[in-house]
Structure 1
């Protein structure tokens, strides 16, 4: 059998037609969805890019691998120490290596390993095509490599191919000669004038006035990606830029489908469409970023067309992206690794069973330090470092009534916050117990991030913006009418700054 894994960076499920989006962003993906299973509640346990893809191929939570950050110690795997053999855990126990054991030729078209110096990402791959622009490449750079690979290999058997597309990732960069087919289509209904105005008052990197992270300057090389989203016109530019990226990738997927059909192997190819994380497009006041441990950032699409498997089925249960590794091994008759944290959902693919987990725990330590637990209709979020957004320590959202997370119910439901904290503590205890038995240390990398000055993209010490950059940002807040936010951030972080200076 052939396995094609299409990894669309920053792809939100709810901006695809098969997940109910009102714009025609994904006709090719939607057709594949009709021929397979659509998973409604799949999550990355660790966001964003580097932690998520590390978790995916290792089959393990970031708390176990140590990779939860974008810089500092927590951007690198934990040292295995004396327990390390001739090969490390990523190669010996990773998904790609297990496929090799089953005589699969493993191939990858992605620059990701170089983008984040994540060399463990390439472990177990026979063939690697680095498209060379570190994630800045658009589909017109990626697709010729894909087309050649398909021409050379599609008709062969027993291959696994991972393809990265980047166009929905910031900055939105679909070429200017591609027409914006969404310019006359309505924005998502929830993005009302009241929401846009409320977002204008929020503070922190990637908010309405500072989509560039700490400024609103924009970049002339990316005219589709504005520096600010402070009114309906600029918000439309953000949404259209993102949706154009989604459609641009979908057009490439249509070409791949034709390549597989031309080779006579489409029906015999397992096709998986997913992402590393989602994208905040106004939720929590953030635009064009994936920097929180919320449902918008951590929920990913998962669409699987399996030869001879279930068709036209939706799975409503909870899953992690790390569940893919044991699932593939069960489907292929391979060995499920004891070190993995994932659980197989193979019967959901072969028989259409609505099976899955009761809850999921999701984490973010690159832009903020947060952990959340998702169960039933609830999302409980605990913030350990707010990334200069002034998030409260606890938040609670009813995602059935409020899928875009506009109403924090924590003060109204302290009993549910206690339940959420209990669920988080239960998960954390299990992880620490496993670490004590199988790891080389008993360190939760979230606290490593805190100890090293906070998340890399909101750090006063070893990342962005630093002490001087923090004060420059405070001045920018004042200049954009957010004096109260600047005052609150100074009050909160001045003691830390004084400790750094002394």
Structure 2
């Protein structure tokens, strides 16, 4: 058995052709989707990067493994404490350890452990290749390492190769030699002139006026990445920059597939294609960032081609990315680890008759502190720290009618908000009752000064708001975040 897992950082599914995108961004990924199962309602449990990959590798929600943020206590995986044995739980319960239990060699090509000092990310791999730029790699720097590994190891039996590509992640970095294959394609129809004008007035990091998070600076090193979006030309630069990154990455994925075919390995290869999170491209007025617990950030692709099983099907059930571990365990005929929070969907791969979960709860604590409930056609978002976006405490969106989250229905549909809150607290009670610790790490983030990418930034952001004609928002920011102003001495 041979397995290739492609982890495509910041890859939102609806910018892939196989998910219905009108632009030709992903012909090689699309081919795999046509030969396997494509999941349409697949979500990371914890966003963004570090919480998501920690949940994937441990099979646990962030509330259980402790990693929900990008700094402070909530960026370190929880100690097993007095119950820890000679070796820790990851030796047997992590995703690569699962393949090791099945007698397979495991290899990782990724800089991610170093990027976030997430050394537990390496647990269970026989070989680790750090591509060396901490996530600033472009595909032409990653694929040669992959091709070399396949040349040296591909003919062996029983391996799992995990590969990270980074091109959809900001800043958009596709080389100029690619040109712009999307220059003549239409922009997203939902971002009308009126919508874009409203976005330019929005307050918050990574708004249309601050693509660089808290400012509009650009870098000559990344000409595809704008500093702000004031008009449709700059909007095109943003959308086309992202899509060029996807296409550049897909071209290199195609080169990997070509080598596997040349070596006669492709027909029997299990291919898994997924991501750590998506990338908002206008949802909630945010561009080029994965900063919220919403659809744009937390919905991710999942494509599984398992030769000899279900082919060319689409599954619409709700699933978490951490459901992958128990699914793989079932497919490999291995026991489930007691520590896992996931539920297997192996039946989806074996046939088309299987359901998903009743609802999902997803979390974001690195840019904002939010928990969201995804149920039926609805997405309910509850905000605990707004990351200076001035979000309403409760937001409710009907994703069937409003997939880009333009109309908050919380005031109009209190009945659906109440249902969502009930589900949120059912989940929370279950999580708290099933762990040794009595602290929810979301509140750890807040007690330690707030989410990483908002901490300490408010004073200088206030100056920018005043300088750009949005000073009207400052009193409300001061009201919501008095501690930040007090700490700054203002």
Shorter-normalised TM-score: what interval?
A: over 0.9
Deviation at 1:134, TM superposition (A): 0.3
Give the aligned partner of residue 382 of structure 1: 382
Give the aligned partner of residue 469 of structure 2: 481
Give the aligned partner of residue 74 of structure 2: 74
Whether contact under 8 Å (1:91, 1:120) holds in the other structure is: no
| Cα distance in 1, alignment partners of residues 92 and 4 from structure 2 | 22
Give the aligned partner of residue 186 of structure 2: 186
Give yes or no for the alignment of 1:456 onto 2:452: yes
Deviation at 1:354, TM superposition (A): 3.8
SS at match of 1:314: strand
Deviates more, 1:121-130 or 1:348-357: 348-357
Deviation at 1:491, TM superposition (A): 3.0
| Cα distance in 2, alignment partners of residues 239 and 453 from structure 1 | 33
Question: Which digits, 9 at most, give the CA deviation of each residue in 1:235-283, with x for residues without a partner?
Answer: 1101000000111111111112111111212111110110000000111
| Cα distance in 2, alignment partners of residues 24 and 445 from structure 1 | 41
| Cα distance in 2, alignment partners of residues 343 and 286 from structure 1 | 32
Normalised to the residue count of structure 1, the TM-score between the two structures is 0.96
| Cα distance in 2, alignment partners of residues 32 and 239 from structure 1 | 24
| Cα distance in 1, alignment partners of residues 393 and 301 from structure 2 | 29
Give the aligned partner of residue 257 of structure 1: 257
Question: Which digits, 9 at most, give the CA deviation of each residue in 1:290-341, with x for residues without a partner?
Answer: 0000011000000110010111100010011001111111101112101100
| Cα distance in 1, alignment partners of residues 342 and 388 from structure 2 | 33
Whether contact under 8 Å (1:28, 1:250) holds in the other structure is: yes
| Cα distance in 2, alignment partners of residues 472 and 140 from structure 1 | 37
Give the aligned partner of residue 431 of structure 1: 431
Whether contact under 8 Å (2:368, 2:451) holds in the other structure is: yes
Matches within 5 A, 1:97-136: 97-136=97-136
Deviates more, 1:353-362 or 1:419-428: 353-362
Question: Which digits, 9 at most, give the CA deviation of each residue in 1:420-441, with x for residues without a partner?
Answer: 1110000000000001xxx2x2
Give the aligned partner of residue 313 of structure 1: 313
| Cα distance in 1, alignment partners of residues 487 and 427 from structure 2 | 34
Whether contact under 8 Å (2:143, 2:256) holds in the other structure is: no
SS at match of 2:10: coil
| Cα distance in 2, alignment partners of residues 156 and 101 from structure 1 | 18
Give yes or no for the alignment of 1:228 onto 2:228: yes
Deviation at 1:125, TM superposition (A): 0.2
SS at match of 1:177: helix
| Cα distance in 1, alignment partners of residues 378 and 433 from structure 2 | 26
Give the aligned partner of residue 157 of structure 1: 157
Question: Which digits, 9 at most, give the CA deviation of each residue in 1:443-500, with x for residues without a partner?
Answer: 110000000011010113xxxx2xxxx2221121122121212232123223553267
Give the aligned partner of residue 8 of structure 1: 8
RMSD of Structure 2 on Structure 1 (CA): 1.2
Give the aligned partner of residue 52 of structure 2: 52
| Cα distance in 1, alignment partners of residues 153 and 14 from structure 2 | 33
Give the aligned partner of residue 482 of structure 2: 494
Matches within 5 A, 1:28-427: 28-427=28-427
Deviates more, 1:470-479 or 1:320-329: 470-479
| Cα distance in 2, alignment partners of residues 59 and 380 from structure 1 | 24
Question: Which digits, 9 at most, give the CA deviation of each residue in 1:333-373, with x for residues without a partner?
Answer: 11210110011111101223342111111000000000000
| Cα distance in 2, alignment partners of residues 257 and 472 from structure 1 | 48
| Cα distance in 1, alignment partners of residues 349 and 483 from structure 2 | 53
Runs of 5+ in structure 1 lacking a partner? none
SS at match of 1:149: helix
| Cα distance in 1, alignment partners of residues 354 and 200 from structure 2 | 41
Whether contact under 8 Å (2:298, 2:362) holds in the other structure is: yes
SS at match of 1:150: helix
Give the aligned partner of residue 472 of structure 1: 460
Whether contact under 8 Å (2:315, 2:348) holds in the other structure is: yes
| Cα distance in 2, alignment partners of residues 70 and 142 from structure 1 | 24
Question: Which digits, 9 at most, give the CA deviation of each residue in 1:68-107, with x for residues without a partner?
Answer: 0001110001122111112222233111112111111000
Whether contact under 8 Å (1:363, 1:371) holds in the other structure is: yes
SS at match of 1:174: coil
Whether contact under 8 Å (2:345, 2:354) holds in the other structure is: no
